[in-house]
């Protein structure tokens, strides 16, 4: 989904740069204003994990492959504004160091793979867990659904940008992108749900869930005998 240079028209690339710059700037202000002491190191860990995970592709179908986007996962754990900064860092380093995605298309790539999944994924996760009352099944189901939908929307927006730029007609790019990313989204959902499950077991407070109380000592009617 990393759009290379030359695939977007100048107007499309320029608009996406402006929109992305405004949102990232807002994310910086919002994160600085509401950043918790425990969030900063978690953002670093998330950035490292997502960066490494995006470097590993898994086969999908027809010789194509996909990789984790991670925007929904980041938003679930640190909130959408901080997630935007995490994803901007990851996608920016990939473009600058590994040439994964073009510099002219960097604004579009950050929007498609970072901003959109963060806000959409977070909103869907909150909606699902609100209905299911933050049960374990609700948290895992919400993580899976939010990740899958975020991938599909990212593919849809990428298709729209390519079609508007005249790179490929709608009739070709849309079914091709959505068809492949239906499967990639399943992988994204499984990875996201698995990661949320691990966090839920180790640090449920990160998901706003109180840790389980220790079992109460069994009552005995007989007094303890002193040695």
Of the pLDDT bands very low, low, confident and very high (cuts 50, 70, 90), residue 151 is: very high
In this predicted model, which residue has the larger pLDDT, 39 or 24? 24
Helices 116-131 and 71-78: crossing angle, nearest 10°?
60
Q: Determine if the pTM surpasses 0.75.
A: yes
66 or 65, greater pLDDT: 66
Per-residue pLDDT band for 145 (boundaries 50, 70, 90) equals very high
pLDDT at 58: 65
**pLDDT surpassing 70 at residue 219:** no
What is the C-alpha separation between 51 and 114, in angstroms, rounded?
12
Using the predicted structure, report yes or no on whether residue 218 has a pLDDT greater than 70.
Answer: no
pLDDT bin (cut points 50, 70, 90) of residue 216 is very low
E strand spans, the chain? 58-59, 65-66
Choose among 27, 68, 69, 70: nearest CA to 46. 70
Question: Has residue 225 got a pLDDT over 60?
Answer: no
| CA separation for the pair 159, 77 (Å, rounded) | 28
Q: Structural domain boundaries of the chain?
A: 10-206
- Tell me the torsion sign for CA atoms 80, 85, 86, 90: positive
- Give per-residue pLDDT as tens, 179-201: 888 888 998 999 999 999 999 88
Mean of per-residue pLDDT scores for the chain: 86
CATH of domain 10-206: 1.10.1760.20
pLDDT score for 60: 62
């Amino acid at each position: 989904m990393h759009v290379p240079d030359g695939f977007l028209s100048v107007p499309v690339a320029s608009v996406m740069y402006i929109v992305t710059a405004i949102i990232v700037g807002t994310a910086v202000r919002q994160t600085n204003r509401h950043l918790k002491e425990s969030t900063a190191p978690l953002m670093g860990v998330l950035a490292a994990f997502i960066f490494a995970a995006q470097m590993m592709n898994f086969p999908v179908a027809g010789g194509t492959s996909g990789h984790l986007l991670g925007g929904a996962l980041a938003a679930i754990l640190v909130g959408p504004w901080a997630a935007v900064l995490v994803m901007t860092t990851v996608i920016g380093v990939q473009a600058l160091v590994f040439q994964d995605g073009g510099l002219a298309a960097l604004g579009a790539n950050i929007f498609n793979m970072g901003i959109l999944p963060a806000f959409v994924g977070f909103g869907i996760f909150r909606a699902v867990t609100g209905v299911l009352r933050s049960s374990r099944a609700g948290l895992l189901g919400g993580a899976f659904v939010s990740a899958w939908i975020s991938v599909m929307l990212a593919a849809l927006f990428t298709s729209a940008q390519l079609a508007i730029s005249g790179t490929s007609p709608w009739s070709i790019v849309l079914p091709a992108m959505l068809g492949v990313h239906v499967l990639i989204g399943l992988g994204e959902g499984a990875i996201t749900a698995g990661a949320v499950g691990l966090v839920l077991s180790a640090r449920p407070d990160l998901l706003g869930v109180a840790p389980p109380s220790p079992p109460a000592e069994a009552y005995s009617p007989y007094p303890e005998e002193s040695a």
